[in-house]
Amino acid sequence: MIQSIEQLCDFVDLSPDDLAIDFDSIFPFKVPKHFAEQIEKGNPNDPLLKQILPGLAERDVYPGFSPDPVGDLAANPQPSLIHKYHGRALLIASPRCDIHCRYCFRRHFPYEQAKKQHWQAALENIAQDHSISEVILSGGDPMTLSENSLVELIDGIEAIPHVSTLRIHSRTPIVAPHKAHRPTLLKTLSKSRLQTVLVVHCNHANELTPESAELMQQFRQSNVFLLNQTVLLKDINDSANTLSALSKKLFSQGILPYYCHLLDKVSGSGHFDIQKHQAWAIFEQLRQTLPGYLVPRFVEEIAGEPYKTLLIDPNSQDIKPTA
Ligand code: SF4
């Protein structure tokens, strides 16, 4: 880990005085060394640096931005469990992440509820609801759990007969691939009756490295299906060229682009937002230049909706389809 903002600035050859940093942010700075090593030295506009540096711009207040923009708390029937969509339940498996992304939609989530002691009740809730066939491990980041705890949790899910799919949402394989290398976990997944999907979170091609490629190969060899989700971020990846390069590099590592999320309007992140017509223009360019399987679904999450909503042409009057 890089221990402080000052250490990061030193590491990337930049002066804190030139970066409009908020040293007092309530959402603390955190970045692993592997991610910092991919930042271009001396470049204050590096797209990876902008994702992690607490900026004074986070203090700006924007209309429509709130602490819980996607309605997690309204769909939180008991500690650690979020049940929003039919057939799927999400377990907040860990209160921690290996990196703090400044745009994070859960930056204000009450993570004190994400405790191992709540797992049993959450699993009992899932066991009683036969409509649930897929369990999603999220967080925080489930890869911050110890390997033993993670395997114990997966064993508990596997013991529920009507659950057939395990989905793991994690940014750790991208930002700290060495930490996500878990031999016992891989063995567990390769032998599991559950179909497993690992949805990594990567926003820019520069985040993908030989180390992430090697790790992805290990997951694939363990029968894990690999998808990626991206957040569309102003001045970081808001161009068709940048997202096209990302899709191609993901595919070279065996990962298919899944979602490109329009920014969840969480307080403190307004400076990352782009207009829907700009997002639509990027999507159109991607469709014209990439094969369909490399074009992610552009979606937004609207609190209370029973599914994520596909972006449509802002000039069209069509009813929003399911993502
Ligand atoms: S890894 Fe995911 S949950 Fe953690 S800070 Fe980043 S966006 Fe938020």
For residue 105, which atom of ligand 1 is closest to its CA? 8
68 and 36 co-located in one domain: no
In a domain, 318, yes or no: no
Q: How far is the CA of 31 from the centre of ligand 1 (A)?
A: 11
33 CB near ligand 1 (under 6 Å): no
1 in a structural domain: yes
Same domain, 42 and 187: no
- What mean pLDDT do residues 189-206 have? 98
Per-residue pLDDT tens over the stretch 44-65: 999 999 999 999 999 999 999 9
322 is a domain residue: no
Residue with tokens 């990594």: 200
Pair 38, 140 in one domain:
no
- Distance (Å) from CA 315 to ligand 1 centroid: 33
Which residue range(s) make up the domain with 190?
Answer: 63-310
Q: Is the CB of 114 under 6 A from ligand 1?
A: no
Residue 187 covered by a domain: yes
The pLDDT value given to residue 111: 81
Rounded CA-CA distance 189/155 in Å is 10
Once rounded to an integer, what is the mean pLDDT over residues 142-168?
97
Residue 245 lies in a domain: yes
Residue 154 exposed, middle or buried by CB count within 10 Å (0-12, 13-18, 19+): buried
Q: Is 320 part of any domain?
A: no
Q: Is the peptide bond before 140 cis (omega within 30 degrees of 0)?
A: yes
Give the model's confidence band at 318: pLDDT under 50 very low, under 70 low, under 90 confident, else very high. Answer: low
pLDDT tens-digit readout, 219-260: 999 999 999 999 999 999 999 999 999 999 999 999 999 999
Q: Is 96 in the pocket of ligand 1 (CB under 6 A)?
A: no
Tell me the CATH number at 265: 3.20.20.70
Strands lying side by side in the sheet with 88-92: 81-82, 88-92, 134-138, 165-170, 195-201, 224-231, 256-261, 297-300, 309-310
> Taking 60 as the threshold, does the pLDDT of residue 319 lie above it?
no
Cβ contact 196:224 at 8 Å? yes
In this structure, the answer to whether residues 26 and 153 fall within a common structural domain is no
Nearest CA to ligand 1 atom 8: 104
Same domain membership, residue 183 and residue 54: no
Ligand 1 centroid distance, CA of 319 (Å): 31
**Exposed, middle or buried by CB within 10 Å (0-12, 13-18, 19+), for 45?**
exposed
The ligand 1 atom at the shortest distance from the C-alpha of residue 175 is: 1
Report CA Rg, the chain: 19
Mean pLDDT, rounded, for 133-160: 96
State how many domains the chain has: 2
Q: Which of 22, 39, 59 is the last residue of a domain?
A: 59
Same structural domain, 191 and 119:
yes
From the CB of 104, is ligand 1 less than 6 Å away?
A: yes
Residue 273 DSSP label: -
Which residue has tokens 């590096």? 46
91 and 183 together in one domain: yes
Would you say the CB of residue 186 lies under 6 angstroms from ligand 1? no
User: What is the residue-averaged pLDDT of the chain?
Assistant: 95
* 38, 181: one domain: no
Residues 51 and 69 in one domain: no
68 shares its domain with 47: no
Q: Which amino acid is at 164?
A: S
Q: Do residue 22 and residue 110 come from a single domain? A: no
- 25 domain residue, yes or no: yes
Whether 97 lines ligand 1, by a CB cut-off of 6 Å, is yes
* 323 assigned to some structural domain: no
Determine the pLDDT at residue 112. Answer: 79
Q: 98 in ligand 1 pocket by Cβ < 6 Å? A: no
From the alpha carbon of 138, which atom of ligand 1 is closest? Answer: 3
Span 183-205, average pLDDT: 98
Q: Which two tokens stand for residue 157?
A: 């899910």
Where is the domain boundary, 20, 41, 59? 59
Instruction: Mark the binding-site residues for [4Fe-4S] cluster, compressed into ranges.
Output: 97, 101, 104
Closest CA to ligand 1's atom 3: 140
Span from the CA of 144 to the centroid of ligand 1 (angstroms): 12
pLDDT tier at 76 (50, 70, 90 boundaries)?
confident
Residue predicted with more confidence, 235 or 321: 235
Question: How remote is the CA of residue 318 from the centroid of ligand 1, in Å?
Answer: 33
Do 133 and 280 fall into the same domain? yes
